[in-house]
Amino acid sequence: MTPRDKDCIFCKIVAGAIPCAKVFETEHCLAFLDIAPVHPGHVLVMPKGHYATLMDIPAELGADLTATLSRVGKAVMEATAADGLNLMQNNFEAAGQVVHHAHFHLIPRHAGDGLTLWPQSGYESSDEMSGLAKIIAGLLK
């Protein structure tokens, strides 16, 4: 059964209790315009089921989600005559997640639009980098 959270605004959108500017849906996914866009045409794609973060989304939904992101992304770029497209996804408040129903942002970008992404840094040493790679890889065994 598809999980729902009665207090979740995105579950209310899925249920039709709150309106949205829907652009596309599949059996498991819904795509609609973000109400406060970075640029017009900014779309949110999400599983219809309530999963709090990316890590909670069942792997079986992966094919539907990625196909939807690709299909909607193409349409967003065409509709907005965009030169580029960002796929963004926030997990937990520390990373900027405000709505705790996992969702993906498709943001059309225009050459010279002046938006910058997060700053990048480096590692103190190659040991620090390889050590962290080993820890993450170990957790994936």
Q: How many CA atoms lie within 13 A of 2 on its CB side?
A: 14
Q: How far is the CB of 64 from ligand AMP (least distance, A)?
A: 20
CA atoms of 32 and 77, how far apart (whole Å): 15
Q: Which does 34 bind (CB under 5 to 8 A by kind): ligand AMP, Zn ion, none?
A: ligand AMP
Residue-by-residue DSSP string for the chain:
-----TT-HHHHHHHTSS---EEEE-SSEEEEE-SS-SSTT-EEEEESS--SSGGGS-GGGHHHHHHHHHHHHHHHHHHHT-SEEEEE---SGGGT--SSS--EEEEEE-TT-----------S-HHHHHHHHHHHHHHT-
Question: 49 to 78, contacts with ligand AMP by CB under 6 A?
Answer: none
Binding segment toward ligand AMP, per CB under 6 A, in 55-63, 64-72, 95-103, 130-138: 95-103
Q: Which does 96 bind (CB under 5 to 8 A by kind): Zn ion, ligand AMP, none?
A: ligand AMP
Q: How far is the CB of 6 from Zn ion (least distance, A)?
A: 9
Among 1, 35, 55, 94, binds ligand AMP (CB under 6 A): 35
By the rule CB under 6 A, 90 interacts with ligand AMP: yes
Among 26, 52, 97, 109, binds ligand AMP (CB under 6 A): 97
Q: Is 103 a catalytic residue?
A: yes
Residues binding ligand AMP (CB under 6 A): 9, 18, 20, 34-36, 44, 90, 96-99
